[in-house]
Structure 1
Amino acid sequence: MKVSDFNFELPEELIAQYPLEDRAKSKLMVLDKDTGNIEHKIFYNVLEYFNKGDTLVLNNTRVIPARLIGEKEESGGKIEFLLLKRIDKDTWEALAKPGKRAKAGAVFSFGHGKLKTEVIRVEDNGNRIIKFHYEGIFEQVLDELGQMPLPPYIKANLEDKERYQTVYSKEKGSAAAPTAGLHFTEELLRAIEEKGVNIAYLTLHVGLGTFRPVKVETIEKHDMHSEYYHIDEKNADIINNTKKNGGRVIAVGTTSCRTLETLGDESGIIKEQSGWTNIFIYPGYKFKVVDALITNFHLPESTLIMLVSALAGKEHIMKAYNTAIEERYRFFSFGDAMFIK
């Protein structure tokens, strides 16, 4: 299957630069994956499509201020690091820009020396392994000096950092937000529970690989990035009981979807576990756990549009995307939502 099969023309003005003031008032497209039928709603209407006994699965990861801007100790040359993956307490894998300054052994300073890092080595893919030196608690130092790593297609400044966090974010470690969850408010989540819908949580720390373009011509040759996940026994039981009792498992976001499909055995049963997943879901994949999905509108030729095409069918998805453009839906991280039922 060719990557170009998932291309479409997106007007630049439809790329959302700001979140809406009210999270739950985004547009919502409801897509029937069996018939391709489309309905147009507001996000808080999603409650109408949930049934008692269904389970909504949320990714409770929290974005860290992973963008650090500093200078080289010897020359004062500017550097920017983007933290991708924590290897141990003070050692991280990171992107460096400009890379030519970040050679093995180079030392950089942030916040007038409050935080320093040394480049330990340069990986084959160009990423850097760096080790931090500081006094106190790393997370507190990072909160003070780091910036939110907004996606490259968002050019506007975000005044309130919390708008790039879900209201249920808890476990720190993501380099990007699980953006389908940005539409939920605490009031909407309460209303969902009052309807008899279960809410289960898992963690997948989203990596920057989410935004990397697919650079091969055929999607089967794409090498997917890996991301850390975890689910505990309590939440695994909620999901298993839902399947057992005939309810639907509704994943919020492609991150929750990928994690659930990693966790599920051939019978769709999941158990408490942690690990790294590089699962790549594209058309032809048979879903074991996920029955429905809440998601945003994704980049052309991205692994994410391939995933939603696997669930709803490529023809239905491409038609839905063309409809979204005609109806002036807002795209990407701060954009509108789709419910694939």
Structure 2
Amino acid sequence: MGKKEITVYLETITPLWTGDAWQENNKVRSSSILGGLRFWFSVYWKVVKREEIEKLNDDGVPAVNLEEIAKEEPFRVIALKHLQYKNVTNDFDEEIDKVLEELKLPVPSRIFGCTGWRSRVNIRTEPAEEKSFQKVNLEFKYPDDINSKFWINKNIFKEKNESKLYANVRFKLKTSQYWWENYLEEFFKFFSDKIVLMGGKASFGFGFVKMKVEGKDEGTTEQGKNKIVGFDNMYVYKAEKIDYNGSKDILGFNLKYYLRKKEKENIRNKQEIEEHFGKQKKASKVYVSNLLKEDNNSIYLVIFNNPFDINPIFKELAEEYFRVLEELRRREADKNV
């Protein structure tokens, strides 16, 4: 069936952070983008298609080894058996897919690779718009006189005064026509009107993006005034006209910190708060974007229930969190009455 190449555009609602193991963010890394694609494809395959995906090891990484799976009957033996009786109308990749299905290798690993199996997808990032991100331009005490300086300095700047971020990223994705038409095309179409988190430091408000294949029709994102398109495991809300008139920037970390503080005031226990907002080696379910001053002082709230997690945040609590953030907007509205 031949090869397929597409250009994917990441429209950055908030800039992208794709740092390396040393927390240096000097370029948009293809490995980071590929890892993000694999994650969201796994979410799509589990939540939307209702199919099996990989189990995670203790480090939260998909633990799949094709060599272990194929111990009883090696991959090459099954492959030769399939190819020997191959239907001449079938594509070679289709036969390989059938072999991997017989071995019970989950689809995300078939496409994006695992130990003993190479990815069917290759990506190459194009030069992106680079943004200078300076500590001196941040407001650490909004809202409610919180103080986020220590954590932002520790996790973003590492005692430096400046960091780099990237906006409006494009990358070329190469695969075969078979993997595109049977799996990836529908995946990209599903996410074309949704916000996803890409790259690192999402808990600080970075990496809120819309993922679009260039040349394809775009969906519509808005559903009503404040509710944004999500899906079963993800709720997305937008609050506008946040009451902040300062000249400095507000990171999503501040607003998430504020939500967590309000949770404590509601006398929820520590374990429940950590389940929602994360802790060391446990991902958060709550993400808030940076304040978007150029977009009517708006913020996005994303509640994401990882399909690997057995303790989800339900819609009622997601809407409660949104109401807390909306109170920041109402302060300004009250002043104008």
Provide TM-score, normalisation by structure 1: 0.25
More strand by share: 1
User: Normalization by structure 2: what TM-score?
Assistant: 0.25
Q: Report which structure shows greater RCO (CA 8 Å, sep ≥6).
A: 1
Instruction: Decide which structure has the larger Cα Rg and report it.
Output: 2
Between Structure 1 and Structure 2, the one with more helix by share is: 2
